[in-house]
Amino acid sequence: MAIQLSYDPQVQDVIKKTNEFVRDYVLPIEDEFAGDIAAAGGDERRLQMRDQARAAGIFAPHAPVEYGGLGFNMSDRSPVFEAAGYSVFGPIALHIGAPDEGNVHMLAHIASDAQKEKYLAPLAAGDQRSAFAMTEPAPGAGADPSALRTAATKVDGGWKINGDKWFITGADGAGFFIIMARTAGAPGDRGGATMFLAPAGTPGITVGRHINTIDRAMIGGHCEVAFRDVFVPDEDVLGEVDEGYRYAQVRLGPARMTHVMRWMGSANRAHDVALNYVAQREAFGGKLGDLGMIQQMVAENEIDLAAARALLVKACWALDQGSNAGDETSIAKTFGAEAFSRVVDRSIQMCGGMGVSDELPLARLQRELRPFQIYDGPSEVHRWAIAKRAVGRTKKAIAAGKVS
């Protein structure tokens, strides 16, 4: 089956409307508050932008139609998310930012009917936010999820959860948490994790301090969260007990690709800002854009953006075919995260002093883009996984006598 490189009229219409909405409505807000969503008003601002996006007919393109979304598959989401990502506030407005977008996707695929009504419906509508609580302080789970130490113990009618999490995006103000906790085995074991759903007001859940990071556009911050004897009834176990790692894959691959989509929009903006600058700036007897060294940086940006988009298209196609797309998503995520940082760095260089000032958005775009090489798996972990799978395939081929 060929990869489809064109989009049906509905998708094209949403792309067009999203481009107009972001440039006309969202970018002025981002620029006014220098890309800091807390300074822009946090949840109050989010709800205002949500209502405007809904009125424009572009709200929640990823969410199921029965829950008020547009029901787009991964391939159709890609250009819309990219258009929204042209502003770092765009994903917040369309309700396609992390972690809510990934949580909507996972709940739509895994949650029971009762869980969908209780958790997915208000989340998909943008009435609530959510948080995915997996990352823990050392020596707990991080880039290595098997190090999970938060424990869930079976009690009458449900489970009690104890543990500490940190870097939990969106925790401050979240309506509910998806908690990854160990129900079997010991830290270091590959299995034995379970996912639990818990309203934020559940006794024993405490959202602590915000961990200050260089990015400013993640609503609800990156927080420490403590779980002390948190009771979760059996009906709020998400999926099957001890199968949390397997279910998490439903979320992780697509969420990595939606990160690539959004940040590609920001990289496009950085490149556009630099092109506009060098096409007008007079220096050395002509326009900067006519100088060979500048043209080389422009060309490298164009190549990085085109290559990242091609890898993204392939990964989204594989996901839409039902594959877990482990290689495709790791390759697209690793290349995209590094390529986008290269694009914004070259864009800053082309704009000189203006590039590192607040006169242009490039410095703040660099602050937003740099963490992507760590978020959703550091580049080094993805490279290790890619190489491990490649060597494993070759070993199997050799053992089967297919390779001499």
Residue 180 and residue 241 in contact, taking contact as beta carbons nearer than 8 Å: no
Asked if residue 1 has pLDDT above 60, the reply is no
DSSP letter, residue 141: S
Structure tokens at 357: 């000032």
Q: Across the chain, what does the average pLDDT equal?
A: 96
- Confidence band, pLDDT 50/70/90 cuts, at residue 401: confident
Mean pLDDT of all residues in 180-187: 97
- At 253 the pLDDT is 92
What is the pTM assigned to this prediction?
A: 0.95
> Residue 4 pLDDT > 80, yes or no?
no
Tens digits of residue pLDDT in 119-168: 999 999 999 999 999 999 999 999 999 999 999 999 999 999 999 999 99
pLDDT at 402: 80
Which domains can be identified in the chain, with CATH numbers? 9-97 (1.10.540.10), 130-242 (2.40.110.10), 246-399 (1.20.140.10)
Residues 6+ apart with CB under 8 A from 382: 330, 331, 333, 334
The pLDDT, as a whole number, for residue 3 is 67
pLDDT for 2 equals: 64
> What is the four-CA torsion angle of 284, 289, 290, 292, rounded to 10 degrees?
90
Indicate the pLDDT class of residue 404, thresholds 50, 70 and 90.
Answer: low
398: left (phi over 0), alpha (psi -120 to 50) or beta: alpha
Residue 52: its pLDDT value, please? 98
